[in-house]
């Protein structure tokens, strides 16, 4: 850590820029006092990180002053209810660890537009949701726009979804219902129709500096030999020729998504300004998209560079000053051991993101289903690091992206050189290409049938719910879906449900896929919310009703039993049966998960402390026999000590 981080912060008037002193002197006295205290806390780290990044750029000191004034002014303009929420959460900094439940959806697929989402709030409340992640709703470029991830304006809402006024109204109603809104914030790139890109093509040297440029195919080849291919079928390569500039710009994802050059300080300050302004519109969490790609360095794969973490830590400091009740979530889909730096546990330590996706656990859970063996889940959880205070994992069964299998390579490589073949088996199994597979998924970006490809498809389709031909097959598929959700809920500090999974909704229909006419295979698991299934959610004789009721029961149990809180440490409990996973939460709770299609009886008593020897099933309130715990096929059981 920098020496400056270890010294007490001194930010009296003599240590603040004169313009900032003047701003605070003329502000509301109570707010000014709070902001001085926040500045005292955050400025040492902020100055250190920004100095590392930008101190060699011209007019650095003046730029830093502008950043501070911009941030404090945003805080002074913060609406009264959000200011009060910040104070409440500063007094209870682990507010997001106390039984939150997430729900993720596209606005248009879920409810048509932002106004329609307001009509869905009762459904979210009934399900127990306290965190709503709406996938991109900011103004995108014209299609194709990567489902809205090619942002044309960070300061406007997609006109098809509503207006800023609609967003503000939605956030107010969500807050009243106890639900925090999460917005995607695409840090790595902008649409080629963003004002910066437009002005760059028009010849503005300043705006051209906001992007990365190479002048020759030889330069491109030198970079490409180290870079990954994100979309090898639909968008091969990492550079796109721009005729107006007579050069290639860096486009990691699609040609219409231009990577930003964070070596330019104004890029960072303008992006931070837009994020904080969205926070003032009522957004309470940000999914920081494509965080690993923010800094480019020749001779590397240009991922997870040290500067990425300096940028994110600086962004966290600014958020802590202007909107400290706001969560930052890293969208860093990579092996578990590569994730600790996104929680501030890297070479340069400091507060960074509050939440990150546990993609390894998600992928390992699907492998366990295909193999009917929990070894890989156990390996992943054994190597999952402890997190800093106030940080947590987001667990999930499905999301809007494909299932990426290669995040599991480290765990498999540790078991031997031949173990990666298990990923190919999982990829083919869930694409329905393996004899006996019940899955109706599809390979993503498939060009070689012998390569490991990501998997597309809704959870219900992947567990066999839509291919089931008999009541027995239907029951088994339903049990598989509930099993995966149960594990995610038990492990997660912030478990996330993907739209439709609470009802067992299947893939997008062939007719709808044809109508969308898009090349992105991920549209398979981006259906429109199924109103017919929704109408069945309270009917116990329907599959949708069974899934919905059971999921709600687990959600309610987690809220009601303090022993199940993610604030208690999680550990693996040895179990002789390879298909059974046993987890202990703290000293008072146990989760038992059977990943096989057969009945299993296991003995747990030898591995458990005395106060868990006569546990209660949290769903049935019946005493459990842990010396001979009977598990139906694909069953999950949560147990707690009596009264906990």
What are the φ and ψ backbone dihedral angles of 456, each rounded to 5 degrees?
-100, 155
Which of helix, strand or coil describes residue 586? coil
How far apart are the C-alpha atoms of 367 and 128, rounded to whole Å?
28
Which of helix, strand or coil describes residue 569? coil
Four-residue CA torsion sign, 574, 576, 578, 581? negative
Question: Residue 416: which of 373, 375, 449 has the closest Cα?
Answer: 375
How far apart are the C-alpha atoms of 289 and 189, rounded to whole Å?
9
Report how far apart, in Å, the C-alpha atoms of 217 and of each of 275, 297, 299 are.
Answer: 36, 18, 16
C-alpha torsion angle, residues 14, 16, 20, 22 (rounded to 10): 0
Which residue out of 259, 289, 352, 371 is catalytically annotated?
A: 289
| 289 annotated active-site | yes
How far apart are the C-alpha atoms of 430 and 463, rounded to whole Å?
8
- Which residues lie across from 392 on neighbouring strands? 355
Which residue out of 86, 108, 158, 331 is catalytically annotated?
A: 331
Which of helix, strand or coil describes residue 145? coil
Which of helix, strand or coil describes residue 394? strand
Q: Do 570 and 619 form a contact (C-beta atoms < 8 A)?
A: no
| E strands present in 457-602 | 496-498, 570-572, 580-585, 589-594, 600-602
Q: Which residue is listed with tokens 């965080």?
A: 291
| 331 annotated active-site | yes
Q: Do 522 and 401 form a contact (C-beta atoms < 8 A)?
A: yes
| Most distant CA pair in the chain, distance | 77
Name the residues annotated as catalytic.
Answer: 289, 331
């Amino acid at each position: 850590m920098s020496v400056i981080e270890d010294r007490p912060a001194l930010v009296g008037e003599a240590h603040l820029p004169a313009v900032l002193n003047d701003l605070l002197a003329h502000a509301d006295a109570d707010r000014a006092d709070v902001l001085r205290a926040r500045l005292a806390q955050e400025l040492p780290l902020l100055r250190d990180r920004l100095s590392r990044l930008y101190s060699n750029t011209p007019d650095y000191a003046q730029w830093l002053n502008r950043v501070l004034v911009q941030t404090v002014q945003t805080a002074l303009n913060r609406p009264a209810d959000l200011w009060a929420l910040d104070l409440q959460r500063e007094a209870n900094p682990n507010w997001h660890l106390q039984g939150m439940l997430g729900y993720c959806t596209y606005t248009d697929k879920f409810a048509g537009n932002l106004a329609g989402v307001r009509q869905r709030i009762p459904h979210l409340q009934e399900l127990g949701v306290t965190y709503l992640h709406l996938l991109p709703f900011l103004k995108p470029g014209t299609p194709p726009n990567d489902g809205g991830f090619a942002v044309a304006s960070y300061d406007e809402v997609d006109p098809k979804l509503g207006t800023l006024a609609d967003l503000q109204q939605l956030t107010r109603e969500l807050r009243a219902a106890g639900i925090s809104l999460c917005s995607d914030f695409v840090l790595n790139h902008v649409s080629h129709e963003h004002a910066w890109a437009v002005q760059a093509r028009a010849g503005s040297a300043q705006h051209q500096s906001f992007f990365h440029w190479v002048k020759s195919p030889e330069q491109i080849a030198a970079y490409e030999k180290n870079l990954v291919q994100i979309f090898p079928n639909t968008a091969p390569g990492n550079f796109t020729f721009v005729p107006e500039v007579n050069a290639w710009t860096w486009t990691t994802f699609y040609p219409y998504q231009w990577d930003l050059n964070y070596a330019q300080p104004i890029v960072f300050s303008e992006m931070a300004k837009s994020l904080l302004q969205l926070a003032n519109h009522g957004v309470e969490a940000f999914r920081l998209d494509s965080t690993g790609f923010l800094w480019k360095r020749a001779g590397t794969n240009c991922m997870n560079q040290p500067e990425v973490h300096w940028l994110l830590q600086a962004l966290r400091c600014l958020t802590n000053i202007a909107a400290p009740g706001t969560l930052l979530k890293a969208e860093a889909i990579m092996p578990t051991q590569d994730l600790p730096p996104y929680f501030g546990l890297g070479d340069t330590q400091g507060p960074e993101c509050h939440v990150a996706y546990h993609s390894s656990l998600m992928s390992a859970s699907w492998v366990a289903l295909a193999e009917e063996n929990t070894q890989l889940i156990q390996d992943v959880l054994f190597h999952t690091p402890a997190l800093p205070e106030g940080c947590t994992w987001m667990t999930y069964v499905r999301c809007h992206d494909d299932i990426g299998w290669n995040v599991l390579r480290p765990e498999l490589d540790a078991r031997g050189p031949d173990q990666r073949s298990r990923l190919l088996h999982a990829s083919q199994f869930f694409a329905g290409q393996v004899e006996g597979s019940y899955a109706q998924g599809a390979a993503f970006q498939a060009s070689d049938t012998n390569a490991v490809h990501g998997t597309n498809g809704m959870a219900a389709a992947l567990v066999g719910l839509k291919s089931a031909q008999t009541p027995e097959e239907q029951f088994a598929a339903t049990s598989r879906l509930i099993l995966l959700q149960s594990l995610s809920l038990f492990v997660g500090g912030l478990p996330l449900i993907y739209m439709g999974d609470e009802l067992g909704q299947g893939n997008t229909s062939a007719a709808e896929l044809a109508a969308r006419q898009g090349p992105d295979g991920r549209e398979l698991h981006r259906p429109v919310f199924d109103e017919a299934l929704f109408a069945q959610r309270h009917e116990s004789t329907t599959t949708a009703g069974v899934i919905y009721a059971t999921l709600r029961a687990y959600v309610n149990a987690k809220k009601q039993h303090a022993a199940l809180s993610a604030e208690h440490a999680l550990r693996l409990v040895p179990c002789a049966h390879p298909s059974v996973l046993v987890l202990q939460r703290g000293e008072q709770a146990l989760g038992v998960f059977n990943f096989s299609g057969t009945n299993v009886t296991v003995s747990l008593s030898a591995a458990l402390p005395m106060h868990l020897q006569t546990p209660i099933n949290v769903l049935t309130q019946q005493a459990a026999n842990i010396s001979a715990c009977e598990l139906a096929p694909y069953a999950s059981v949560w147990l707690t000590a009596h009264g906990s």
